[in-house]
Structure 1
Amino acid sequence: MTKQAHQFGTSQSIKRIEDLRLLTGHGRYVDDIAPEGALHAYFLRSPVAHADITTLDVAEARALDGVHLVLTAADLEAAGLTASLPFSVMTNRDGSKGAAPHRPILARDRVRFVGEAVAIIVADTPEIARDAAELVELDLDDLDVSLGLAPGGPQIHAEAPDNVAFDWGIGDEAATDAALAASAHRISMEVTDNRVIINPLETRGSYAEWDGSRLHYCVNGQGVWDLKTDLAQMLGLDEDAVRVTNPDVGGGFGLKAQTFPEDFAIAQAARVLGRPVRWQADRGEAMLSDHAGRDLVSQAEIGFDENFRITAYKVENLSNLGAYNSGFGQGIQSTLFAKVFAGTYDIRTAYLGCRGIYTNTTQTDAYRGAGRPEAIYVLERVMDTAARQLGISPWDLRRRNFIAPDAFPYRTVVGELYDVGDFARVLDRVEAEADVAGFAARRDASAAQGKLRGIGLCYYIESILGDPSEGAAVELTEDGGATLYVGTQSNGQGHETVYAGFLSARTGIPVEAIEVVQGDSDRIKQGGGTGGSRSVTTQTTATVAMIDTMIRSLTPFVAEQMGTEPDAVRFDDDHRFRAEGSNMSPDLREVAQLARAAGRDDLLRHEARAKLPGRSYPNGGHVAEVEIDPETGLTQVVRYTVTDDFGVLVHPQLVEGQVHGGIAQGIGQAISEHTVYDDTGQLLTASFMDYGMPRAVDMPGISFSTEPVPSTANVLGMKGCGEAGTVGSLAAVSNAVLDALWARGVRRADMPFTPMRVWDMLARANAPES
């Protein structure tokens, strides 16, 4: 281990601190900690995708014994809650703003998707609340639905003619078209990225408390500060009158970084009643009302010169936004897609366009990777198709076009600044680890069993996102330990372990004596939350700054105790203060005791903020092998190899776990997850009997290795890892499937590769067996 790795507490896998608590049923989730006596909320939701509300009579529901409150949009309006839910909009190509139709807390005159909340019912028990919902008279005048991912169809919002929410672009379209026209080779294709339902282990849930002047809102989210602001603004409160907390959270994946209508309805119900109100979605409700992920169609074209070097690249996206704008929905397949639009290739002429389309479906927004998996999926499908059509190895085509190591820092065609990279070295490593040379023998063995076998490559890059600044604070406690306050929020990744281990490695305070505090807007004044693979990079950078601040603050006091000058005192690698000529060598805990005894409580808490000078760009190679039974269409991922460049690793075991989890979600989308609406907008896959979540039996053994190139964009040299597995896996699996089907005449293969869809691809190809 290098001195730097030891100094920064990196590349050391300590046991997960939270596991004993979480695995023995001692986790403290929203539904575990709701106040005793809290009333239960239930949402009456639209049973149709598009209709005018002609009658909404809640009188009988309000009269039912055990019902304490029923609120409709009219009640919220009477209370002054008329603002739209918060969301961002794009700037169109012509400089105008994208559509911003009002998104209500509860539907007012019209419903626009199945599952849209129409009323909130608060009762003594969930059962009474559901019974009351049956008593609501809700009459609807059905309207035609719009489900197609193209401009046109029945209009959903007056503000969006042809249901086009925005029309955005980046790059030089004219130059790109000219370069494509002049290219020696041109490859064009359509790429479909299927909609997925985000299914964290714990569904969305929350509770609200109102004491007459202050709101406490506890929610299983990915951070507390944005929601604190949103609640204050929507409810007409000062921000100081709102406290938001996150307890243990059972998975987020971008879904729980959003603000939802239920947040405001539950908070307002607690204000009206002056009693705690709680809500936990059941799985069917979640599948109907949660934001979905992906759902776009891309038209892509790429040009090459006579030496197979890329001359130009163009993509036009159609992005399904659902019925309304969500928080980041308009930006996912536009600006976030653009972050890694050009991938790892030296592309100097390119254009990306995106149009957002409203449909009568649930909203789409961030899902593990948020635009970067979608961008890499398109690019790496195009590169694989190009290699086939040009008759060149997909490995060689990538190597010819990689950004050279001596070209960094490298400004991409859309303005991203990649800090470092050695893509060819990483690709060489994954080629060896995957035993690509032995694939032909494995393919022959599969053929002997009547199976088709394919191999697929994806080389990805992603950008960490989110606020580049973060804060950290520490309190040296009376029992000799420390309380570390962080601005991120664990959703199961192992943050407590990483942060406590890192602080321990830098200060000598035992891991078991460190408490990590997160997710409380009263106790932590500012934070960026979790998302975009930002957490460990930003938080440990802030912790480094905080430790430096703490040592500087304590040094004059220690010097005074030693009877020497501050300049003579140093904090050594063995985590003790020392000075020439002094026989004292106290550690931090001993210094804290001395300060407390001297009445210097001002020396017991230290904090600092730090801002990353740039973003890091994790990258790596994924190689998937699949076997397909041509008689049934059953597709299985049977071998998977990944080599990543995550720079300096902070906790290798947790990094590998993040990669495994990301790959599992990628394989799930590629192989089994299929969101289906009928032609009336009814969701047909609203249960786990109909929606194909990946299972352990669907996962192959995953060979994981790293080939690090330390980042220059942070003091630790690390690169975020939380979303990388998903970013690389979609194209790797898809390219492997097409490789297996190619000999049977299949020339296009789109996710998901369910048995019926694969069988149908083979049947339509009508090719003789090879």
Structure 2
Amino acid sequence: MSRFGESQSIKRLEDIRFLTGGGHYVDDVAPAGALHAYFLRSPVAHAEIAALDLDDAREMPGVHMVLGAEDLVAAGVDLAIPYITVKNADGSDAAAPLRPVLAQGRVRYVGEPFAAVIAETMDQARDAAEAIGFDLEELPVHMEVAPGGPEIHAEAPENVAYDWRLGDAAAAEAAFARAAHRVKLRLEDNRIMVGSMEPRGAFAEWDGARLHLAFGGQGVWNMKGWIAKALGLEAEQVQITTPDVGGGFGMKTGPYPEYFVLAHVARALNKPVRWIADRTEAMLSDNGGRDLVSTAELALDDDYRITAYRVDIVSNLGAYNSVFGQAIQSSISSRVLTGTYDVQCVDVRARGIYTNTTQVDAYRGAGRPEAIYTLERTMDMAARELGLDPFELRRRNFIPPAAFPYKSASGETYDVGDFPRVLGRLEQEADVAGFATRRAESEKAGKLRGLGLCYYIEAILGDPSEGATVEFNEDGTVNLYVGTQSNGQGHETVYAQFLSDRTGIPIEQIKVIQGDSDRIARGGGTGGSRSVTVQSAATLATVDKMVAAFADFLEDEMGAKPEFDDGAFRAPGSNRTMTLVEAADLAREQGRTELLRHEERTKLEGRSYPNGGHVAEVEIDPETGALEVVRYTVTDDFGNLMHPMLAQGQVHGGVAQGLGQAVTERVVFDEAGQLLTATFMDYAMPRADTMPMIRFTTEPVPSTTNPLGMKGCGEAGTVGALAAVTNAALDALCARGVRAVDMPLTPERVWGWLRDAAAEDTGEAGAAS
């Protein structure tokens, strides 16, 4: 294996235990005999809690505790679930209403918990919940993603949580006034459910002095602070752990109500208590993703170069602020606002709206897929309306390679990039030149065929600092403590592989330790595609520190200060060599225990910006509207790859989630706020038989902001997939007069667009509905 992160692909170390049932998920590791928690959730979207009688439930068999919001308050629990807010355009603070752990006085979405039952078995807890007496006086609901409607929070007039701006509105207006060409497009970005393989769950236990909460999440340190604050505990009184996690995708980042209730109950009863959601419960209560409407406008000059970009975003926050809900469609999405194009004149307005629905928060990409979808759909429309090749329009507007480092209109400094080279490689790999032939063959078969392009850029988010600790054990194994958190990405393999690559320690002797706030003092968790880049930089710094310490120690032993190369210390003029494990054994024999543990923290100089292109080809049956993605090609610039196979897997998974949203997935509520897609019978997750084979190649331009030249890859597949598939669908449908499409591209919707276009063509549009 070569160094500096350019390692070879090896089989994932963790797969054997996962595939043979050896995984340890939160419901597997809960203490034997733990009590069970059941949460009574609102059956209506908006109501005053006129009465809540818990007494009968408390007398039910096996019940140990029944709680409402007032019981938590009486016990001194802080009801406020934490979140961050943004600033309004006028500098004022955005709305910050209380989001209570259990509903207090009013429920605001179907599925909001307003009581909790703790019993010896789940059946007993459910039975007791049925004995709870309550009276909900229903209120009018607000379901439209637009200002106005019945008030949900007094702190948010017109239900507007924030009104955020970026750019220069006057300059943009002037640019549009003098533009040779103008393009405008309105787009809906449909709400999705995450549908993680393992639903959310947790258990809590109290030993008389300290609380331990284990949950399926994406990092333990924020949760440690949140729980300590809510319960009035000192930080050292709280331990948070995370075992194996069956998928997070941003949804498992946040502080959900159930975790605070479990923590309080464990302390109050001095008994362990557990909870895991069933699938419908998860669909009702998990944070959703996306759910916004954007209106985008491009101004172009005579040479078809963009002179200004204007966007108006109205996004659904759900009933309350989530941790990142306000930031995702404002400050976060704006990081890639202008994509890979040289555009300095922008005007962005973003508003967040409260509705009587479940909260919306981070979902794979968190703002960047939404921003790139809007931009790349608008670029494709511009190419179509102006009669340009979509590849050529993008090339004309790319930031030239010589312009890097490049400061974007939103203040991001892109360190490196060669977008024309990556696009050229993509064009070859996708055989764009052969598309006309493939389209003709589809037409002979009675199908409509379209090709769609998306060129994306990603901004790696999250804490740029991270730490790593290497510890030598008596049995010859080595512990690597990391501050990130695997949710199935293959961290155990890639981190152990990198440490082995840099030190010569056999990979089978390395154990990756993660997800324990007692054993690891600080960490940034997983999210924003940060993990491998920041963690490997920290590991590299720890290895350098460790090698230097052992070289000093071995100077007397080897007769001269040794150099470390190819996994061993070698002293000048001597044939003697010593591995790091052997050096650690020697240090232990001599009582130099300080040499058995080494740690270091690093902070990256800046973000990395993975980028690349996706080309999708779709076939549509005009008789039924059924759409099939028949070819899919990705060429990415991820910089230096540490483990190419894992990177490819991340792209495949990201594309699958993007295709799911683009083609099949859509959360549907009725006018009363009832969730109509609360099972997998109603919510159409993508399936293996609907996924295309994905061709993946890389065209690396190493990043300059980290010592390994890497760029994160975890969310890139989703960022590029949405627009590629949707652009391909519109390209296919244009032949039949369809001029606009939105996700999801379900057969019913596609068939309806074709029908409406045919009606307009025959002058019978009024008859179509």
Name the CA distance, whole Å, in 2 between partners of 1:126 and 1:325.
30
Tell me what 2:359 maps to: 363
Q: What is the DSSP-based 3-state SS (H/G/I as helix, E as strand, rest coil) of the residue aligned with 1:103? A: coil
Contact map agreement 1:409 1:419 (CA 8 A) in 2: yes
Tell me what 1:469 maps to: 465
CA displacement 1:617-673 (0-9 Å, x = unmatched) = 000010001111111111111110000000000000000000000000000000000
Contact map agreement 2:102 2:114 (CA 8 A) in 1: yes
CA displacement 1:384-433 (0-9 Å, x = unmatched) = 00001111111100000000000000000111000000001000111111
Tell me what 1:293 maps to: 289
Name the CA distance, whole Å, in 2 between partners of 1:446 and 1:688.
32
Q: TM-score, normalised by structure 2?
A: 0.98
Tell me how far 1:353 sits from its aligned partner: 1.2
Q: What is the DSSP-based 3-state SS (H/G/I as helix, E as strand, rest coil) of the residue aligned with 1:209? A: strand
Contact map agreement 1:9 1:501 (CA 8 A) in 2: no
Tell me what 1:739 maps to: 731
Tell me what 1:639 maps to: 631
Tell me how far 1:450 sits from its aligned partner: 1.2
Tell me how far 1:556 sits from its aligned partner: 1.2
Tell me what 1:260 maps to: 256
Q: What is the DSSP-based 3-state SS (H/G/I as helix, E as strand, rest coil) of the residue aligned with 2:475? A: coil
2:132 maps to amino acid: V
Answering whether residue 684 of structure 2 is matched by residue 688 of structure 1, we say no
CA displacement 1:18-44 (0-9 Å, x = unmatched) = 000001000000011100000111100
Q: 1:182 aligns with which of 178, 181, 184?
A: 178
Answering whether residue 708 of structure 2 is matched by residue 716 of structure 1, we say yes
Contact map agreement 2:5 2:708 (CA 8 A) in 1: no
Tell me what 2:767 maps to: none
Tell me what 1:707 maps to: 699
Contact map agreement 1:208 1:278 (CA 8 A) in 2: yes
Structure 1 stretch 754-763 or stretch 369-378: which is displaced more?
Answer: 754-763
Q: What is the DSSP-based 3-state SS (H/G/I as helix, E as strand, rest coil) of the residue aligned with 1:736? A: helix
Tell me what 2:141 maps to: 145
Tell me how far 1:127 sits from its aligned partner: 1.0
Answering whether residue 571 of structure 2 is matched by residue 571 of structure 1, we say no
Contact map agreement 2:5 2:640 (CA 8 A) in 1: no
Answering whether residue 345 of structure 2 is matched by residue 349 of structure 1, we say yes
Q: What is the DSSP-based 3-state SS (H/G/I as helix, E as strand, rest coil) of the residue aligned with 1:207? A: strand
Tell me how far 1:272 sits from its aligned partner: 1.2
1:46 maps to amino acid: S
Tell me what 2:114 maps to: 118
2:219 maps to amino acid: G
Q: 2:656 aligns with which of 664, 673, 676?
A: 664
Tell me what 1:609 maps to: 601
Name the CA distance, whole Å, in 2 between partners of 1:405 and 1:633.
42
Q: 2:304 aligns with which of 292, 301, 308?
A: 308
Q: What is the DSSP-based 3-state SS (H/G/I as helix, E as strand, rest coil) of the residue aligned with 2:100? A: coil
Q: 1:749 aligns with which of 733, 741, 747?
A: 741
Tell me how far 1:7 sits from its aligned partner: 2.1
Answering whether residue 537 of structure 2 is matched by residue 541 of structure 1, we say yes
* Mapping 1:508-527, distance limit 5 Å: 508-527=504-523
Contact map agreement 1:454 1:740 (CA 8 A) in 2: yes
Name the CA distance, whole Å, in 2 between partners of 1:169 and 1:279.
41
1:682 maps to amino acid: Q
Contact map agreement 1:9 1:506 (CA 8 A) in 2: no
Contact map agreement 2:468 2:535 (CA 8 A) in 1: yes
Tell me how far 1:213 sits from its aligned partner: 1.3
Name the CA distance, whole Å, in 2 between partners of 1:31 and 1:87.
27
Tell me how far 1:584 sits from its aligned partner: 2.4
Q: What is the DSSP-based 3-state SS (H/G/I as helix, E as strand, rest coil) of the residue aligned with 1:649? A: coil
Tell me what 1:655 maps to: 647
Measured on the aligned residues, the alpha-carbon RMSD in Å equals 0.9
Tell me what 2:422 maps to: 426
Tell me what 1:590 maps to: 582
Tell me how far 1:752 sits from its aligned partner: 0.3
CA displacement 1:29-83 (0-9 Å, x = unmatched) = 0011100000111100000000001111111111101111111001001112244
* Mapping 1:366-405, distance limit 5 Å: 366-405=362-401
Name the CA distance, whole Å, in 2 between partners of 1:580 and 1:189.
69
Name the CA distance, whole Å, in 2 between partners of 1:437 and 1:138.
66
Name the CA distance, whole Å, in 2 between partners of 1:10 and 1:38.
46
List, as ranges, runs of 4+ consecutive aligned residues in structure 1 with deviation greater than 6 Å.
none
1:225 maps to amino acid: W
Tell me what 1:247 maps to: 243
CA displacement 1:82-105 (0-9 Å, x = unmatched) = 441101111000010000001100
Tell me what 2:766 maps to: none
Tell me what 1:29 maps to: 25
Q: 2:166 aligns with which of 152, 164, 170?
A: 170
1:349 maps to amino acid: C
Tell me how far 1:212 sits from its aligned partner: 1.6
Q: What is the DSSP-based 3-state SS (H/G/I as helix, E as strand, rest coil) of the residue aligned with 2:523? A: coil
Tell me what 1:619 maps to: 611
Name the CA distance, whole Å, in 2 between partners of 1:153 and 1:78.
35
CA displacement 1:345-401 (0-9 Å, x = unmatched) = 000101111000000000000000000000000000000000011111111000000
Tell me what 1:729 maps to: 721
Structure 1 stretch 639-648 or stretch 80-89: which is displaced more?
Answer: 80-89
Tell me what 1:76 maps to: 72
Name the CA distance, whole Å, in 1 between partners of 2:364 and 2:505.
34
| Alignment CA distance shift 1:600-1:368 (3 Å) | same
Q: What is the DSSP-based 3-state SS (H/G/I as helix, E as strand, rest coil) of the residue aligned with 2:252? A: helix
Tell me how far 1:552 sits from its aligned partner: 1.1
Name the CA distance, whole Å, in 1 between partners of 2:549 and 2:616.
52
Structure 1 stretch 9-18 or stretch 188-197: which is displaced more?
Answer: 9-18
Q: State percent identity of aligned pairs.
A: 64
Name the CA distance, whole Å, in 2 between partners of 1:645 and 1:333.
25
Answering whether residue 321 of structure 2 is matched by residue 318 of structure 1, we say no
Q: 1:674 aligns with which of 666, 672, 687?
A: 666
2:646 maps to amino acid: L
Q: What is the DSSP-based 3-state SS (H/G/I as helix, E as strand, rest coil) of the residue aligned with 1:355? A: strand
Name the CA distance, whole Å, in 2 between partners of 1:580 and 1:391.
69
Contact map agreement 2:656 2:691 (CA 8 A) in 1: yes
* Mapping 1:24-103, distance limit 5 Å: 24-103=20-99
Tell me what 2:500 maps to: 504
Name the CA distance, whole Å, in 1 between partners of 2:443 and 2:135.
59
* Mapping 1:217-232, distance limit 5 Å: 217-232=213-228
Contact map agreement 2:73 2:79 (CA 8 A) in 1: no
Name the CA distance, whole Å, in 2 between partners of 1:670 and 1:689.
18
Structure 2: gaps spanning 5 or more residues: 763-769
Q: TM-score, normalised by structure 1?
A: 0.98
Contact map agreement 1:171 1:351 (CA 8 A) in 2: yes
1:474 maps to amino acid: V
1:618 maps to amino acid: P
Name the CA distance, whole Å, in 1 between partners of 2:229 and 2:441.
64
1:571 maps to amino acid: F
Tell me how far 1:481 sits from its aligned partner: 2.2
Tell me what 1:270 maps to: 266
Q: What is the DSSP-based 3-state SS (H/G/I as helix, E as strand, rest coil) of the residue aligned with 2:714? A: coil
Tell me how far 1:746 sits from its aligned partner: 0.8
Name the CA distance, whole Å, in 2 between partners of 1:636 and 1:270.
51
Aligned residues: 761
Tell me how far 1:582 sits from its aligned partner: 3.1
Tell me how far 1:9 sits from its aligned partner: 4.5
Tell me what 2:765 maps to: none
Name the CA distance, whole Å, in 2 between partners of 1:414 and 1:581.
57
Q: What is the DSSP-based 3-state SS (H/G/I as helix, E as strand, rest coil) of the residue aligned with 1:256? A: coil
